[in-house]
Amino acid sequence: QADYITQEVKDCVARELAELKTRGGVDPTNICTNFLAAIARRPAVDETNGASLAQEELDIRVQVNQVRQSPQYTLAALQEGIYVIGMKDQFNVHDLAGHPLHGRIQYVADDMGFVLYDAAGAKHVDEFGPYYVEQYILMEILSKHEVAHNMLNYYVKHRQKLQASLESYDESQGQGFICWRFLMNEAVRAVAAETAAKTPADTAAAAAAAAAATS
């Protein structure tokens, strides 16, 4: 049976622990402090629209990926562009209060996109939170999830309609990824209705133009 965690990740953690031991012991809080300090030091990058699925519209560039195919995981979101991946039940709502990163975690989602914890409270496809497009880019990269794939394609083509559907969604059927099936269905119906409404008007305008041309 294959190891759940790759050797590269194990080696990285082993090096970090060895370094901490030479400095006087291993404290999980210190590891988290070092991680947060590294985040603060990261260089600024140019703003982008996210990353792709419609590869020509969005631009996914995976620099390093040590996560195995089709993983079961929980994802703790700290801020835009900063997420911590853990094992399936690692970031659960019952144990979260005791985690050294608890004060920085804004929401937690699992590999199916279900939101397990949410302190962000944002409902926008272009703002950090459980409905932010980054969440679904990560799901597409990590899980190759079909609904994430569809959502990203729809985000590229009909972003405003997707956002309008999200604003009217009351989360009674579930928070996070579960809602996208309903939202995309609503958005598809809205586009179809808009197209149907335009068609008679376009036909009438074309007929009027043809009549004027022959008179």
Span 113-136, pLDDT tens digits: 888 999 988 889 899 999 898 888
Q: What is the pLDDT of residue 210?
A: 53
C-alpha span between 204 and 208 (Å, rounded)? 6
The pTM score is 0.69
Q: Is 80 exceeded by the pLDDT of residue 84?
A: yes
Determine which helix (DSSP H) or strand (DSSP E) holds 42, and give its type and residue range: none
In sequence order, the β-bridge partners of residue 83 are: 77
For the chain, how far is it from start to end, CA to CA, in angstroms?
81
Cβ partners under 8 Å of residue 46, min gap 6: none
Confidence of residue 208 (pLDDT cuts 50, 70, 90): low
Which pLDDT score, from 0 to 100, does residue 24 have? 67
The mean pLDDT of the chain is 77
